A and B are shown apart, each in its own frame.
Chain A
Amino acid sequence: MAAVSLENWKERIRDPKIECMSSDEMAHLQSERLVDVVNRAYHNVEFYHKKMKEQGVEPGDIKGIEDIHKLPFTTKEDLRDNYPFGLLAIPTKDVARVQGTSGTTGKLTIAPYSKKDVEVWGECVARCLTMAGLTSEDIIHVCYGYGLFTGGMGLDYGAQALGAVAIPMSAGNTKRQMMCMEDLGATAFACTPSYALHLAESMQEAGVVDRLKIKAGIHGAEPWTVEMRKKIESILHINCFDIYGLCEISGPGVAQDCIHHEGLHVHADYFYPEVLNPSTHEACGDGETGELVFTTLAKEAMPLIRYRTKDLTSMNRSKCKCGRTLPRISKFTGRTDDMKVIRGVNVFPTQVETALLSMGGAIAPHYMMIVDREDNMDVLTVMVEVDESMFSDEIRKLDALRDKIGAVLKQALGVSARVKLVEPKTIQRSEGKAVRVIDNRNL
């Protein structure tokens, strides 16, 4: 299938009343829902009751969305401390399902849903699928993992709400994925961007691209660059979309970009976004980067108030070319916990990835940042895997490659880095989110 160019794109909006709502109407809806969720949290969740009392704020103080700054924050640690069901606001018998995510420390983060929460989740994903040009006519090949991870089920619920066909492939077994995609005539597929690229390259190698009916790719759950999107799009001749979500809030479908790729539209009628300065907690202006904080406005099972995502982004509240008025968050620049201050300069792994990609490779080689302190000086070492496309039998050329990577990194990061070339597959792969930084400084 050919990718649809911007001129020929027909924008579809699933719920124009909400997605194109005026800011006053939206604020009114959000206010109503905030008052309701704060009441439910205060009266049904011991944790919020205590926390609000400590902060000296009562449900009556929250009259509208403009009062949200009076409310306390919720952190990932709070979720861990109340594991597994301490933050439940409904009786256990009303829990319809549970999803979760493996935290970096190994302990699960649990996300319970009521029947209505599941419906809202599906509705939000259906809005995203519509944003990607899909309708009830489409066949969506879901190769996100099915299980506790929200990816598989989320896209499945979305397809169901849309009235489309979901093919629950789950992840892995690339050959079988390719066969089913072709045989069942999938018109869209959904998976992590890194797996999408792997699949795309495998299909190109196998020479099956021309036989596919795929027109759209829905990818999220890990950060990816614009270059990576364009690469997948050009191999498969499709349009790809960046879907965002986190299981604590709902799963995929919290936000997604439209064909204009100028930020991800947040379904702010359900998930109220704030972007705050990570240290002062004051609201950032539009375009200013800060930590993304969500309040679930309609969640029944586990409502979260001002949940700190640790994802760094900026907000754009202007109306999009697609017609939506939903606020947009920019593609993620990193996470507050990934950020390293090296010799006083803020450095994010995504900057390293972008710099490596800018060197002309199709996909950034695997890398790892190691921060050490030698003689009271911060030293950044970036290990880069030498794959076959970069390899040379001449040491002179490898040294030149190393120096070039060093120069590109210095330019991009603002601090100099030692580059160490290592063998492919020697940098540890993680099952979930990739570990890109090791900090040995014990700060």
Chain B
Amino acid sequence: MGITIQQLSVFLENREGRLDEVLSVLAGNEINIVALSLADTSDYGMLRMIVSDPNKGKAVLRDNGITAMLTDVVALRVPHETGSLSKAMHQIVEGEVNIEYMYAFANGADASAVLKTDDPARVVDILRGSGFDVWEASEAYVSNIRE
């Protein structure tokens, strides 16, 4: 059984100040954002985040009338070596798992990549089986928080 972490995904209308409102709600409830990706279309935006407490994050957003959901993703640890991400990707392709989207963040000595796939548990197995490691929830949610 692999280890997946929970991503907080938020539907954002393309409207002035909306991103600010979402971030304020999270900040006001002491939720730290570890990693973030913002995708935009002509009509709306999609905010995807790894946060310190995904369940609480969803709850406080919901209380403020913001549509949010939790998604299982994998946080891959990518060593700072040329070609390491390519190698990991190659393994995933070999394992016939589709990657829906991906974004990267820094975490201590390593870089990290958040992967949304159609089979998160299997991706973890593939990566671990080929010498890569993934962040467990307990590590991912607290990373980069200043002591």
Contact = CB atoms under 8 A, between A and B. Distances in A.
Interface of A: 386-388, 391-396, 398-399, 402, 420-426
A396 B116 CA distance: 13
Contacts of A423: 11-13, 18, 65-67
B71 A424 contact: no
B9 interface: yes
Interface of B: 7, 9, 11-13, 18, 39, 41, 43-44, 46, 48, 65-67, 69, 71, 100-101, 116
11 contacts: A387-B67, A388-B69, A391-B67, A393-B9, A394-B116, A395-B39, A398-B11, A402-B43, A420-B43, A423-B18, A423-B66
A396 B101 CA distance: 10
A398 B67 CA distance: 13
A422 B13 contact: yes
B67 A388 contact: yes
A318 B43 CA distance: 51
Nearest to B42: A420
B36 to A, nearest CB: 13
Nearest to B58: A388
A386 B43 contact: no
A402 B71 CA distance: 21
Given A423-B67, A425-B65, A391 B116 contact: no
B67 A424 contact: yes
B69 A391 contact: yes
Contact of A393 (B41, B43, B48): B48
A396 B39 CA distance: 12
Given A391-B69, A393-B46, 12 more contacts: A387-B67, A393-B9, A393-B48, A393-B116, A394-B100, A394-B116, A395-B41, A398-B44, A421-B43, A422-B44, A423-B12, A426-B13
Contacts of A396: 100
Nearest to B69: A391
A359 B121 CA distance: 32
A425 B64 CA distance: 10
Nearest to A393: B9
Contacts of A386: 11, 67
A428 to B, nearest CB: 14
Nearest to A420: B43
Contacts of A392: 69
Nearest to A387: B67
Nearest to B18: A423
Contacts of A393: 7, 9, 46, 48, 69, 71, 116
A160 to B, nearest CB: 41
Nearest to B100: A394
Contacts of A394: 100-101, 116
Contacts of A388: 67, 69
Nearest to B46: A395
A389 to B, nearest CB: 10
A422 B15 CA distance: 10
A283 B17 CA distance: 55
A425 B12 CA distance: 13
B6 to A, nearest CB: 11
A391 B11 contact: yes
A420 B42 CA distance: 10
A333 B13 CA distance: 32
A421 B44 contact: yes
A399 B41 contact: yes
A127 to B, nearest CB: 43
A159 B114 CA distance: 62
Contacts of A425: 65
